[in-house]
Chains A and B, each alone.
Chain A
């Protein structure tokens, strides 16, 4: 397989590429779904291929193929070169990658128990136990649990001399209980929503979730939500659980700090960003309680690796420091425009896609409060937990989120259960209203395995460290 790398790089140089990189990517994925007491789906998917990215006359070309033989590799290179020459006819400014990247080495996700060695029966039995726990609650109409395991072997090499090999693992699982009435559908899920809680780890990550211990609770909550009061409309203090904070960080800080968006490279699809370069080191993005880092070294984070897909080493950098906007997520090409060097965030969704700037682990650093303390200090507020819906405009300013569950907070105490809770805001106003972030003991890394970007579409697996967080004067209860 690795012979193909040398073949491709040589061919690219001979055919006129000023720069070329090659990625060999081999991925296996197992998905298991249990639904209503039955094993509903098990699949085992394998994909491998080679992608070649070249620069010719200052313009990019990329081609990939699943077919791995010498002849096809030559054809792929030829295609990439021809595409780059076509790009050069209509490019705006020549690509400048900045200083060369010559990383070399091996990286493997730390794994205690390789998930692909765990018997299928053990995985299914755990999901069935959790399913049974949900089913013990009268009124739960749909029970679903799932697991996903991924092993990806990547080889990256470039004409600058970089050669890295990585073996990356992911393990994820989650359960969800649904209760329905003629007018309502209410879901509760654990540990997160929209499928699973996923991390760069082995099967030990699944075991630690103790799915079966949470089945009954979420079942009871789903049923209780059917008869809960509607979340009231108004402007209130808002406390978010850590998983919802993670998504809030993702949408309102992670995406707008992607420098390719800022430069318009995603304008026709994912959008642009309000965090334009003249605001760098000037915009008070949030309150002094808000420090957000991009940290590809965070243990178990889905954005943790050895090198990005340009060969840049994994690293930690600040995006927001005590509320001040101080940095972007960058690539070699975009960083050089600002006179910077890449902070290693380029990742591709497989061999058949080019790398794009993707969040690594974009973390809201822990504060010094606690959920208990935040509630005790709140006179009139709402506590919201576990995402149900999310939407934000194309500049990442105007957002509205909904959560599965909410509680009223009155005079420092948690009150009645509320359903269909939503909140909305404008990004800098919202983060500047942040007056408390819980501490390390409540801080967790939340994996999001469904981040869409790019044309053709790519899905990235990213993560966010977060803890319960409080915001003041937030508009809640938007539901016609």
Chain B
């Protein structure tokens, strides 16, 4: 039975032949072909049982052509000769029908550092294995008098990008993620894990963390809104970094004067360093971007000083420099995106981050974060599934979830300590962040 479930991806040779065929057939001056293929499954559970359980096999063939200074992009989710003709013809037709615009230059060939992001075990994960994993969490929750909710997914995919200038890059990857909310009658806890290799997901350790959190987070009482010293767990830190990336790390945001980044100025505490590095195997590695440019490490904030931005082909052309390998699929008006973020850990044990706090708040995770003021890096959101009052160096009681409205830069300016361990947080749609838990001097809760 097991062999039937192994993720079915197109053979690399066949994929290459397909892409070469499209490139050869194209009458445009420049042509780019991107193929994304994935086979994924997700088992969802609620009230201590599986309630949704799905799988899909899909492909996207995206063709970009540049013809007489005009660009056309089309996509199709089939990979055969008829689809190749169709998608190419549509891209050409779009290019032919439009006025000349700003042409995003295609990159030439350049070597990309190979990175391993594949696990046979993840690719071969079966529905029965997913059910067993989920059932184990549900049983543990049930024994504790609690209810489990969450999702467990495994996926395998490949990305290939080539252009008529000679670029060809290919990357295979797998991913396994699990998130769990455990609820009691009067409160809940949260935990998640993600890895390339499904074998790295330790269900017992996950269940212990989330059940413990849920037990401690029962009968939360309100606490007065206001400014508090806080400890943010890695879940919250990663989300904060993702919003920094969205608001400020892109060269386009800077070129359009929307970014909070003031290069070469100190914008956070000196103990804060953040960089993007898709080549680091402890993240979710990939060796090239969606324009076919090899990935580079970019130091964004180093010891509190804004040091760099990420570039794609268009923003690099405008700045008269090279892309850093952070382009998104064509057509893209959103600019480059840093999606492999790292935050430098500190020297404090996570459990010790609260030891000197007289009165503060412990935050497990954020929820529904939105931008209020991009240039001031102000975001709003709620805490969720594990918010606790810290008094005299220890957690004394759970508190009701709080709304915060806070400038990220102001918060990081008061970074008092960082945990020496880091956690990989896989993004919902793309990329991942590896971050420590942090202690901040002040965080504003507004309700």
A interface with B by C-beta (< 8 Å)? 31, 33, 35, 38-49, 51, 59-67, 78-80, 82-87, 89-93, 119-121, 124, 141-142, 144, 178, 180, 183-185, 263-265, 267-269, 271, 352-354, 389-394, 398, 400, 402, 420, 422, 424, 455-457, 475, 478-480
Find A455's partner among B44, B183, B384, B407 (CB 8 Å cutoff).
B44
Quick check: B101 and A120 within 8 Å, CB to CB? Answer: no
Given contacts A40-B102, A86-B131, A268-B181, contact A61 B53 (CB under 8 A): yes
Find B127's partner among A83, A264, A478 (CB 8 Å cutoff).
A83
What would be 12 A-B contacts, judged by CB atoms less than 8 Å apart? Answer: A44-B73, A60-B52, A121-B99, A144-B333, A183-B375, A265-B46, A268-B180, A391-B370, A393-B368, A400-B380, A480-B405, A480-B446
Quick check: A44 and B74 within 8 Å, CB to CB? Answer: yes
Find A185's partner among B132, B369, B375 (CB 8 Å cutoff).
B375
Quick check: B58 and A352 within 8 Å, CB to CB? Answer: yes
CA distance A183 to B258 in the complex (A): 9
Quick check: B331 and A42 within 8 Å, CB to CB? Answer: yes
CA distance A62 to B53 in the complex (A): 6
| B54 proximal to A (CB < 8 A) | yes
| B401 proximal to A (CB < 8 A) | yes
Task: Quote the shortest CB–CB distance from A233 to chain B (angstroms).
Answer: 10
Task: Quote the shortest CB–CB distance from A473 to chain B (angstroms).
Answer: 15
| B135 proximal to A (CB < 8 A) | yes
Quick check: B401 and A393 within 8 Å, CB to CB? Answer: yes
Find B258's partner among A38, A41, A185 (CB 8 Å cutoff).
A185
Which one of B51, B58, B132 has the greatest number of beta carbons of chain A within 10 Å? Answer: B51
Given known contacts A353-B54, A478-B446, what 9 new A-B pairs fall within 8 Å (CB)?
A: A42-B73, A43-B75, A45-B75, A61-B53, A62-B55, A180-B257, A354-B54, A478-B380, A480-B406
Give how many B residues have a beta carbon under 8 Å from the other chain's beta carbons. Answer: 93
Quick check: B41 and A65 within 8 Å, CB to CB? Answer: no
Quick check: A119 and B57 within 8 Å, CB to CB? Answer: no
Residues of B382-435 whose CB lies within 8 A of A:
382, 384, 401, 403, 405-407, 410, 428-429
CA distance A269 to B71 in the complex (A): 39
Quick check: B78 and A184 within 8 Å, CB to CB? Answer: no
Find B372's partner among A124, A183, A389 (CB 8 Å cutoff).
A389
User: A124 contacts which chain B residues (CB < 8 A)?
Assistant: 98-99
| B72 proximal to A (CB < 8 A) | yes
Quick check: A400 and B403 within 8 Å, CB to CB? Answer: yes
User: A354 contacts which chain B residues (CB < 8 A)?
Assistant: 52, 54
CA distance A234 to B380 in the complex (A): 18
User: A393 contacts which chain B residues (CB < 8 A)?
Assistant: 367-368, 382, 384, 401, 403
| B59 proximal to A (CB < 8 A) | yes
The segment from B143-151, B201-209, B232-240, B267-275 that touches chain A is B143-151
CA distance A144 to B334 in the complex (A): 11
Quick check: A184 and B179 within 8 Å, CB to CB? Answer: no
Task: Quote the shortest CB–CB distance from A274 to chain B (angstroms).
Answer: 12
| Residue in B closest to A34 when the chains form the complex, CB atoms | B101
Contact code string B124-143 (vs A, CB < 8 Å = 1, else 0):
00111011101100100000
Find B333's partner among A33, A89, A141 (CB 8 Å cutoff).
A33
Quick check: A62 and B102 within 8 Å, CB to CB? Answer: no
Q: Which 8 A-B pairs have the closest CB atoms?
A: A92-B49, A41-B331, A86-B127, A90-B135, A267-B149, A86-B131, A268-B149, A180-B257
Quick check: B53 and A84 within 8 Å, CB to CB? Answer: yes
Given contacts A43-B73, A45-B74, A82-B127, contact A67 B150 (CB under 8 A): no
Give the A-B contact count at a CB cut-off of 8 A: 266
The segment from B89-97, B284-292, B347-355 that touches chain A is B89-97
Residues of B31-73 whose CB lies within 8 A of A:
40-59, 71-73
CA distance A78 to B3 in the complex (A): 13
Find A478's partner among B72, B369, B401, B405 (CB 8 Å cutoff).
B405
CA distance A437 to B278 in the complex (A): 52
Quick check: B127 and A66 within 8 Å, CB to CB? Answer: no
| B378 proximal to A (CB < 8 A) | yes
CA distance A456 to B130 in the complex (A): 15
| B85 proximal to A (CB < 8 A) | no
B interface with A by C-beta (< 8 Å)? 1, 4-5, 40-59, 71-78, 86-87, 90-91, 94, 97-99, 101-102, 126-128, 130-132, 134-135, 138, 147, 149-151, 153, 179-181, 183, 188, 256-258, 330-333, 367-376, 378, 380-382, 384, 401, 403, 405-407, 410, 428-429, 444, 446-447
Quick check: B41 and A83 within 8 Å, CB to CB? Answer: yes
CA distance A89 to B410 in the complex (A): 50
Task: Quote the shortest CB–CB distance from B141 to chain A (angstroms).
Answer: 12
Quick check: B401 and A398 within 8 Å, CB to CB? Answer: yes
Quick check: A65 and B58 within 8 Å, CB to CB? Answer: yes
Quick check: B77 and A48 within 8 Å, CB to CB? Answer: yes
CA distance A391 to B447 in the complex (A): 13
User: A93 contacts which chain B residues (CB < 8 A)?
Assistant: 49
User: A91 contacts which chain B residues (CB < 8 A)?
Assistant: 49-51
Given contacts A48-B78, A480-B405, contact A456 B380 (CB under 8 A): no
| Residue in A closest to B57 when the chains form the complex, CB atoms | A65
CA distance A363 to B84 in the complex (A): 44
User: A455 contacts which chain B residues (CB < 8 A)?
Assistant: 42, 44, 52, 151, 153
CA distance A269 to B46 in the complex (A): 11
User: B444 contacts which chain A residues (CB < 8 A)?
Assistant: 480
User: A59 contacts which chain B residues (CB < 8 A)?
Assistant: 50, 53
Quick check: B94 and A394 within 8 Å, CB to CB? Answer: no
Find A424's partner among B43, B51, B71, B403 (CB 8 Å cutoff).
B403
Task: Quote the shortest CB–CB distance from A478 to chain B (angstroms).
Answer: 5
User: B54 contacts which chain A residues (CB < 8 A)?
Assistant: 61-64, 83, 353-354, 456
User: B76 contacts which chain A residues (CB < 8 A)?
Assistant: 45-47
CA distance A298 to B107 in the complex (A): 49
Quick check: A119 and B258 within 8 Å, CB to CB? Answer: no
Quick check: B99 and A39 within 8 Å, CB to CB? Answer: yes
Given contacts A142-B256, A263-B46, A420-B373, contact A456 B77 (CB under 8 A): no
Quick check: B98 and A67 within 8 Å, CB to CB? Answer: no
User: B380 contacts which chain A residues (CB < 8 A)?
Assistant: 389, 391, 400, 402, 422, 478
Quick check: B428 and A457 within 8 Å, CB to CB? Answer: yes
User: A392 contacts which chain B residues (CB < 8 A)?
Assistant: 368, 382
Quick check: B50 and A90 within 8 Å, CB to CB? Answer: yes
Quick check: B46 and A264 within 8 Å, CB to CB? Answer: yes
User: B41 contacts which chain A residues (CB < 8 A)?
Assistant: 83
User: B257 contacts which chain A residues (CB < 8 A)?
Assistant: 141, 180, 185
Quick check: A44 and B52 within 8 Å, CB to CB? Answer: no
| Residue in A closest to B385 when the chains form the complex, CB atoms | A394
Given contacts A46-B75, A120-B98, contact A268 B55 (CB under 8 A): no
Quick check: B331 and A40 within 8 Å, CB to CB? Answer: yes
Quick check: B56 and A400 within 8 Å, CB to CB? Answer: no
User: B53 contacts which chain A residues (CB < 8 A)?
Assistant: 59-62, 83-84, 86-87
CA distance A389 to B149 in the complex (A): 29
| Residue in A closest to B151 when the chains form the complex, CB atoms | A455
CA distance A87 to B56 in the complex (A): 16
User: B180 contacts which chain A residues (CB < 8 A)?
Assistant: 268
